Amino acid sequence: MTQATSAAPAACPRCRSATIELLCDSPVAGLWTLYRCKTCLYAWRSTEPEENTNPDKYPAAFRLSPDDVANFPIVPNIPPLRNK
């Protein structure tokens, strides 16, 4: 397992947006860092393989563009459970 990186990624691996936020660090200091893209909501740990963290190596079949995300249909809320 690799150590967490100290610098935040420059771009989201999935949509290449620069809207990256640090969600949290591991409970054990320096073990991993969790990032999330504010545009497409993709989240990843700093210790994941490059195909999950590097925009150039992220699988093309799963990539999105920020325009794709903006044009997604609105998903309705899940209704509350029925009482039994």
The pLDDT of residue 1: 45
Q: Does the pLDDT of residue 32 top 80, yes or no?
A: yes
Instruction: Say whether pTM exceeds 0.85.
Output: no
d(CA 44, CA 13): 9
**pLDDT interval class at 40 (50, 70, 90):** very high
d(CA 2, CA 5): 9
If you search the block for the tokens 């899940």, which residue do you land on?
A: 78
d(CA 39, CA 30): 26
d(CA 68, CA 17): 12
66, two tokens: 């920020």
CA 5 to chain centre: 16
Q: What digits encode the pLDDT tens for the residues 51-82?
A: 999 999 999 999 999 888 888 888 788 888 88
